[in-house]
Amino acid sequence: MALDSKQDDRTHQFKVVGTRPPRPDGIDKVTGRARFGADMTAPGMLTGRILRSPHPHARITSIDSSEAEALPGVHAVVTRADFAHAVADAATADVLDNCMAGDKALYDGHAVAAVAASSPAIARKALKLIKVDYEPLPHVTDVDAAMQPDAPALHEGRANETVPAGLSPNVVARCAFGHGDIEAGLAQADRIVERTYRTEATHQGYIEPHACLASVGPDGQADLWCCTQGHYMVRNTCAEILGMDQGQLRVTASEIGGGFGGKTTVFLEPVALMLSKKAGRPVKMVMSRSEVLRASGPTASSSVDVRIGMTKEGRITAGFAELRYQGGAYPGSPVDMGAMAAFAPYDLENVKTVGWDVVTNRPKAAAYRAPGAPMAAFAVESAIDELAKGFGLDPLEVRLKNAAREGTRASYGPTYPAIGLEATLRTARDHPHWSAPLGPNQGRGVACGFWFNFGGDTCVTLNITPDGTVTVTEGNPDIGGSRASMSMMAAEELGIPYDKVRTVIADTGTLGQNEVTDGSRVTFAVGLATIEAARAAKREMCRRAAQIWGIEEEAVVWEDGAARPAGPNAGTHPPMSLAEIAAIASNTGGPIAGHHEVNAEGAGVSFATHMVDTEVDPETGAVKILRYTVFQDAGKAVHPDYVEGQFQGGAAQGIGWALNEEYIYGADGVLQNPGFLDYRIPVASDLPMIEPVILEIPNPGHPYGVRGVGETSIVPPLAAIANAVSEAAGVRLTHLPLSPPKVLDALKSK
């Protein structure tokens, strides 16, 4: 078939992409029919519960579960001793140790044992009958304290070869990026800002707690239902931990009640499988909110030193940042991502970042939306703002003067292709928000943000049904409307109406490997595979039409939902629609499908500029968000409603991070606020409308120009809000969250 040339011309008019149709899972979600992680049951199901360490750091000297096992209604007790299969991969071994502690409990809430019982009440009672002997050890929860040479050590020998000798064993990795000569650059500056910035750990705050239902048969075949961002990851990780064949474990993803990166690993699933295996019955486990906060995967807290020099004209002469992130009790904080993203929006001759990955007695960090980047952007964008305002320069113009553009060598190394940062800055400058008047105690802040975006392993199968409708089968949990986007891209490519396509998420037995729903990859990578699967189906349909017409395949094109003869010798056959070809598929060779399997490399980076107005109450230190506008490059917005939703949601999470949310550990190393009352995420009355402005600078790596949009939107808010509050308060604020006591202290110290 001669490919329809219009499809590769990104300037062509889309018919479906860019419209706002209803999502296929919508009715289920407004009627209560949608089944989330905790909504599944199985015959004979038991309740699983986890016993958690009350100590932040303790050696486990013995566990006696005999009384619990003897309690009527208890069917299994599991400890680390049950996970006897040797796990070769170091990162997976850490996941196992995090799911069920080995020799030591490493944080308040660390799992030490689990039970499966015939009712929740019996399970709770059984937990109280398990006797654990702990030998409490000194603990450390602060990143800077953990780096001190005499700090309590969590592990020995976990530092990799990048860490110089002589540091605390809690320092497990170092990274560095950049080019040029920092000292020479600083020497050209008219002014240098040098400050330390701190952020506290925050949680993704998804409203749905982790939940799963596991069923292991005596033949070794197992089924698992769970809420996750990636059921293929769950399958592979659990199979490795339990020593099972991946093919014997079928994982089905439920509807997912939020993830934001926090559901890209496992917490309960290996334990539920082990309980089910021992009990010979299905086992359901659901975390409480307190367990979610104490023992799932919040993001890192950070401490960042910045030195930036600027000329009085506003040109940045050098940028340096040293970032220290604690990622909980195991290696793997996102400090390398922060160190790469810190200066990514700027065109700098002299730039260097150094990152330190540090372990502390806190839960193992999981990814959180653009992991590592928001804290780095907070530090860098605060310093740039202070410099600009110190010279009396417009902070947007200063950013424009230094903005990275096509051909700029990024601070992390490569040269940028076409990117959208300047477009977001210019649009922000010309927006009425920028020139709107401010009242007393009010301030306006801006900040830029960057994220890489990813692709990865992806499979899509597209089946044509006998009546000419289409099913797209993909393997990535739909966390915010992606099924609608896949249906739209398939409809666009096939030239049929949106409502003739239904997209479903398959279990792990149906498709090959699929990377987790993360890295803002789904609309890009699954979209790409969907388009390619549709093209494969079109090629086959053209082949069938050519056979029927008795002409060469090359003489058939697909246009507007039908195969058509084209070219000088093709003849004058009437077009055959998709439905007409589908109806006689049995007579022309059998069912028609297209499929595409790919490691989708080549995702396009994205940039955003945020603008926010705040008002500070001088009596209480409370901050009110008055107005918020997001300017972001989406490449191509497939379903603009859900692109806007990503912009608004990222901004709202950033507002929470900037103003209220923080993990508070007492001197005893115990989390003091493991509930939504004290870990306060933004509520409806805290926020104004959030205006989303979508820009479209096409990604050359995608047939429709799509870039990921989900993560970039959480990068600028921390700095934008801190810049606005600093202006309103008349004093520079450098430690998030900007909770009323901190702002009040700053006002008093003016």
Partner 1 sequence: MSSIHVTTTLNGDPAEFLCEAEETLLDVLRDRLGHTGAKEGCGTGDCGACSVVVDGRLVCACLMLGAEAAGRSIETVEGMAEGDKLHPLQRKFLDHAALQCGICTPGLLVAAKSLLEREPDPDEEQVRYWLAGNLCRCTGYDKIIRAVLDAAAEMREAS
Partner 2 sequence: MVQVKIFGSLAAAADDQTEVEIEARTLRELLDGLAARYPAMQPQLERGVSVAIDGRVYNDSWFTPIEPDSEVVLLSRLKGG
Single out the residue of 41, 415, 586, 672 in contact with partner 2 (rule: CB under 8 A). 415
Q: Where are the beta strands (DSSP E) in 438-567?
A: 442-451, 456-464, 470-474, 501-505, 556-559, 562-565
HSE of 606, CA atoms in CB hemisphere, 13 A: 36
Instruction: Give 542's DSSP letter.
Output: H
Interaction partner, residue 597 (partner 2, partner 1, none; CB < 5-8 Å by kind): none
Distance of CA 428 to the CA centre of its chain: 26
Please, what is the Cα angle at 96 between 92 and 98, to 5 degrees?
Answer: 110
Is residue 206 part of the contact set for partner 1 (CB under 8 A)? yes
**Interface region with partner 2, contact rule CB under 8 A, candidates 52-60, 337-345, 477-485, 553-561:** 337-345
Three-state DSSP class for residue 619 = coil
Amino acid present at 235: R
Size of interface with partner 1, in residues (CB under 8 A): 57
Is residue 612 part of the contact set for partner 1 (CB under 8 A)? no
**Interface region with partner 1, contact rule CB under 8 A, candidates 61-69, 313-321, 492-500, 685-693:** 685-693
CB of 252 to partner 1, least distance (A): 16
Site for partner 2 in 599-638 (CB under 8 A): 599, 601-603
Nearest-angstrom CA–CA distance, 369 and 610? 16
Single out the residue of 301, 653, 726, 734 in contact with partner 1 (rule: CB under 8 A). 653
Is residue 336 part of the contact set for partner 2 (CB under 8 A)? yes
Amino acid present at 196: T
Is residue 352 part of the contact set for partner 2 (CB under 8 A)? yes
Site string for partner 2, 700-719 (x = CB under 8 A): -x---------x--------
Looking at the Cβ atoms of 58 and 366, the one nearer to partner 2 is: 366
Looking at the Cβ atoms of 169 and 209, the one nearer to partner 1 is: 209
Nearest-angstrom CA–CA distance, 227 and 255? 7
CB of 78 to partner 2, least distance (A): 30
Q: Is 741 exposed, middle or buried (0-12, 13-18, 19+ CB in 10 A)?
A: exposed
Site string for partner 1, 63-102 (x = CB under 8 A): ----------------------------------------
Site for partner 1 in 5-34 (CB under 8 A): 20, 22-23, 25-34
Single out the residue of 298, 327, 420, 480 in contact with partner 1 (rule: CB under 8 A). 480
| Backbone phi, psi, residue 486, to 5° | -65, -45
Q: Is 110 exposed, middle or buried (0-12, 13-18, 19+ CB in 10 A)?
A: buried
Looking at the Cβ atoms of 223 and 336, the one nearer to partner 2 is: 336
Single out the residue of 687, 694, 731, 747 in contact with partner 1 (rule: CB under 8 A). 687
- Which candidate, 234, 272, 271, 276, places its Cα nearest to that of 253? 234
Is residue 186 part of the contact set for partner 1 (CB under 8 A)? no
**Interface region with partner 1, contact rule CB under 8 A, candidates 257-265, 412-420, 543-551, 659-667:** 257-265
- Let me know: does 524 contact 711? Beta carbons within 8 Å: no
Interaction partner, residue 535 (partner 1, partner 2, none; CB < 5-8 Å by kind): none
Size of interface with partner 2, in residues (CB under 8 A): 48
Is residue 89 part of the contact set for partner 2 (CB under 8 A)? no
The two counts, helices (H) then strands (E), for the chain are 20, 26
- Which H/E stretch holds residue 144? helix 143-146
Is residue 178 part of the contact set for partner 2 (CB under 8 A)? yes
Nearest-angstrom CA–CA distance, 404 and 498? 38
Looking at the Cβ atoms of 359 and 651, the one nearer to partner 1 is: 651
Interaction partner, residue 652 (partner 2, partner 1, none; CB < 5-8 Å by kind): partner 1
Please, what is the Cα angle at 291 between 105 and 657, to 5 degrees?
Answer: 105
Please, what is the Cα angle at 27 between 23 and 31, to 5 degrees?
Answer: 145
**Interface region with partner 1, contact rule CB under 8 A, candidates 79-87, 155-163, 681-689, 729-737:** 681-689
Looking at the Cβ atoms of 204 and 461, the one nearer to partner 1 is: 204
Got the DSSP string for 183-240?
HHHHHT-SEEEEEEEEE-------SS--EEEEEE-TTS-EEEEE--S-HHHHHHHHHH
**Interface region with partner 1, contact rule CB under 8 A, candidates 75-83, 232-240, 511-519, 645-653:** 645-653
227 to 40, 202, 233, 477, 515: CA distances (angstroms): 11, 21, 12, 9, 15
Please, what is the Cα angle at 580 between 575 and 581, to 5 degrees?
Answer: 90
Single out the residue of 66, 148, 160, 288 in contact with partner 1 (rule: CB under 8 A). 288
Is residue 343 part of the contact set for partner 2 (CB under 8 A)? no
Site for partner 2 in 21-50 (CB under 8 A): none
Amino acid present at 147: M
**Interface region with partner 2, contact rule CB under 8 A, candidates 96-104, 126-134, 156-164, 280-288:** 156-164
- Let me know: does 211 contact 255? Beta carbons within 8 Å: no
Is residue 179 part of the contact set for partner 2 (CB under 8 A)? yes
Nearest-angstrom CA–CA distance, 576 and 582? 10
Provide the β-strand partners of residue 47.
117, 284
- Let me know: does 344 contact 428? Beta carbons within 8 Å: no
**Interface region with partner 2, contact rule CB under 8 A, candidates 148-156, 258-266, 441-449, 727-735:** 258-266
Three-state DSSP class for residue 612 = strand
Nearest-angstrom CA–CA distance, 76 and 224? 18
Q: Which tokens is 306 given?
A: 């910045």
82 to 225, 274, 286: CA distances (angstroms): 22, 8, 21
CB of 685 to partner 1, least distance (A): 4
Single out the residue of 9, 156, 161, 619 in contact with partner 2 (rule: CB under 8 A). 161
CB of 65 to partner 1, least distance (A): 23
Is residue 519 part of the contact set for partner 2 (CB under 8 A)? yes
Sign (positive/negative) of CA torsion 96, 97, 98, 100?
positive
Site string for partner 1, 37-56 (x = CB under 8 A): -xx-----------------
In the complex, the residues that contact partner 2 under the rule CB under 8 A are 160-162, 174-179, 204, 260-262, 264, 334, 336-337, 339-340, 352, 354, 366-371, 412-417, 451-454, 456, 518-521, 599, 601-603, 701, 711
Q: Which residues bind partner 1 (CB under 8 A)?
A: 20, 22-23, 25-36, 38-39, 121, 204-209, 255-260, 286, 288-289, 479-481, 641-642, 644-645, 648-649, 651-653, 675-677, 681-687, 689-690
